[in-house]
Structure 1
Amino acid sequence: MQARLIALDWGSTRLRAFLLGADGAVLETRQSNDGASTLSGADVFARALADLVGDWRADHPKLRLLACGMVGSQHGWREAAYVRCPADAAALASQALAIDDALSIVPGLVDDAAQPDVMRGEETQIVGALALNPELAENACLVLPGTHSKWARVSAGRVTGFATHMTGELFALLRQHSVLSRLMPSDGSSPASPEAFLKGVGAAQEEGGLAHQLFAVRTLGLFKQLAPEQLPDYLSGLLIGHEIASELQRAPQRLALIGDPALCGRYAQALHHLGHAAPLQLDNTAPAGLWQLAQTLQLT
């Protein structure tokens, strides 16, 4: 199959490249640790790109490149200005930033209806999810779990607003650098404990603020109500449970989870425990989103 586009999902810690053929079919995938947060200066970004896909470009000199993610942030290659919600694929494509004749960067989204909230990279995954599952476009909430989880509300094919939760980053900080970590295994190799995870999810639905409930991660260990190896899962359940509880109050009934299958599975488990219908689960939809945006930009 003939190559049609080089698609780049260029996040903070990793650069993922996809050689796409007709209809966005993934012909080849590569990745490196040259994330946007590890690089500085246009020449360094250009070198990282050449190191990963230089041979693709040599073999297919007429191919265009389209990138999304933190490569377009203030600390990226060049800043691609945010597009305000509500926004759809056409709005994103209209503000794409051209680095040169071959490479363009997708802008991020900003929701400033209340306090400003931003995303970079997730907007492209949302475009891909809607292209792959058009039934979500009318009225749905797309959940992208991760270091900074996103809950994006979609109506009539547009992202109307979204909320970011620092759940993953909070877990890492508390797991490694707080008093809560002292009773947990230090090597991070604890076996999974679904029971402890769901216990944390349930506790998040009870009265009492998160800051108060977090201390129970320590006291449940002190009084031997949870084993040391169960405490990380309890902490995870508590944080994810609070995130879900706050968002279900305003999210449409139709949910879709997008991203790492293991992490999405954990959110699905929590939602099931709380009585919510099983959500649609999608893997990385960035290639589909980049293909859709490239079509809108007439790059292929």
Structure 2
Amino acid sequence: MRALVGVDWGTSSLRAARLGAGGEVLEERSSARGILSVPAGGFPAVLQETCGDWLGGDALCLVSGMAGSRQGWQEAPYCACPAGFAEVARSLTWITPGRIALVPGLSCEERGLPDVMRGEEVQVFGALGRLGLQDGTFVLPGTHSKWVEVQDARVRSFSTYMTGETYALLRQHSILARTLPAGDGAAPDEEAFTRGVREAQAAGSLLRSAFGVRTLALFERAAPAALASYLSGLVIGEELRARAPLPREVVLVGSPALTARYALALRTLAWDSRSIGSEATWHGLWALARTLETP
């Protein structure tokens, strides 16, 4: 297979990897040059600065993430679900024909409302390959958490939950901010976090349960340092409540810190999960490149 460079270009950061013929990561680099820091017309120069020495000869470069958005390098139209490797490969937006392409992202619709993702689809495809799966429910935690349903190695549908953003808004810009400590700490207070997860199930509404963060502090029924973990448990617990009943097992894809929180929340509710990290992105881009080069 041709030399392959994979690029995960997000809003606030850029990651690049030089991949071997079997999908192994030969070298990896990262930069703070997310799309919001790149001026109009500046994307080729930033890519060259980051990994230009990898792009010689006939190397193929596949770029996933927000670089394909309207605010990015060039808008790559979404590929409609259901979609697998073949549909995504046919929908690539080529910056340099045969050499540099933007992965399109996916769209789906539920009750007349569209939903979209950029970059997460590559992680799902990578997780499928790494774990040897064809079907399953995949959860990608983050600012906008994604729940993805896969059947026969094709994304059938997905849903977005603004869990991380809701946590940040409540934590920083609501009345709760006056109660919460300045920092979250490296790891959650597990007792407070799981208490929040359970309360989300019992209350049945985050609008009802969130104010309890303040009243627990007012009546000194929770340590101030534990309240951020309690709030985190509430919002993640609300996401899980909205998804119930869950399948027997879900696959968590993302950073170790976030997937660990979700795994703890799932265990609290007696649901099973397994996790895979950033290597899913590189494996997904490698598998997509193989699709391009397989007759």
TM-score normalised to structure 1 length: 0.93
Q: Secondary structure at the match of 1:160?
A: strand
Give the AA of the match of 1:28: E
Letter in 2 for 1:106: V
Aligned to 1:176: 172
Question: 2: CA distance between counterparts of 1:129 and 1:55?
Answer: 28
- 2:28 is aligned with what amino acid? T
Deviations 1:230-282 (CA, angstroms, capped at 9, x unpaired): 11000000000010111133x432310011112101111111110112x1210
* 1:283 paired residue number: 277
Residue 287 of structure 2 corresponds to which residue in structure 1?
292
Q: For residue 21 of structure 1, what is the aligned residue in structure 2?
A: 20
Q: Return the alpha-carbon distance in structure 2 between the equivalents of residues 131 and 158 of structure 1.
A: 12
Contact 1:95 / 1:107 at 8 angstroms: preserved in 2?
yes
CA separation in 2, counterparts of 1:191 and 1:120? 28
TM-score, structure 2 as length reference: 0.94
Q: How far apart are the structure 1 equivalents of 2:197 and 2:269?
A: 8
What is residue 206 of structure 2 aligned with on the other side? Answer: 210
Long gaps (5+) in structure 1 = none
Q: Does the residue aligned with 2:142 lie in a helix, a strand or coil? A: coil
Tell me if structure 2 keeps the 8 A contact 1:85–1:111: yes
| 1:177–1:86 CA distance, 2 compared to 1 (3 A) | same
Look up the equivalent residue of 1:45 and give its one-letter code: F
Deviates further, 110-119 or 2-11: 2-11
3-state SS, counterpart of residue 202 of structure 2? coil
The equivalent position to 1:164 in structure 2, one of 160, 163, 184, is: 160
Distance 1:202 1:230 in 2: 15
Q: Which of 79, 103, 109 in structure 1 is aligned with 2:106?
A: 109
Q: What does residue 47 of structure 2 align with?
A: 49
Distance in 2 of aligned mates of 1:20 and 1:148:
28
| Aligned pairs (5 A) from 1:126-165 | 126-135=124-133, 137-138=134-135, 140-165=136-161
By how many angstroms is 1:38 displaced?
Answer: 2.5
2:203, 2:209 within 8 Å by CA — same for their partners in 1? no
- CA shift, 1:188, in A, is 4.3
C-alpha distance 157-189 of structure 1, shift in aligned 2 (>3 A): closer
CA contact (8 A) 2:92 2:103 kept: yes
Contact 1:5 1:65 in 2 (8 A): yes
Give the equivalent residue in structure 2 for 1:228: 224
**What is the distance in 1 between the residues matched to 2:180 and 2:247?**
37
Question: Whole-Å Cα distance in 2 between the matches of residues 67 and 191 of structure 1?
Answer: 32
Q: One-letter code of the match for 1:111?
A: C
Aligned pair count reads: 291
Q: Secondary structure at the match of 1:112?
A: strand
Cα distance in 2 for residues equivalent to 1:48 and 1:169? 28
Question: Using a 3 Å threshold, how does the CA distance of structure 1 residues 192 and 29 change in structure 2: closer, same or farther?
Answer: same
Contact 1:150 1:162 in 2 (8 A): yes
Residue 187 of structure 1 deviates from its aligned partner by: 4.2
Q: Would the alpha carbon gap of residues 236 and 6 (structure 1) be closer, same or farther in structure 2, given more than 3 Å must change?
A: same
Q: Provide the residue aligned with 1:70 in structure 2.
A: 66
Q: Give the structure 2 partner of residue 198 of structure 1.
A: 194
Residue 32 of structure 1 aligns with which residue?
31
**Maintained 8 Å contact 2:184/2:229:** no
Alignment of 1:66-105 (within 5 A): 66-101=62-97, 102-105=99-102
SS in 2 for 1:294: helix
| Unpaired segments ≥5 residues, structure 2 | none
Contact 1:110-1:117 at 8 Å conserved across structures:
yes
Contact 1:197 1:236 in 2 (8 A): yes
Q: Is the 8 A contact 1:16 1:32 kept in 2?
A: yes
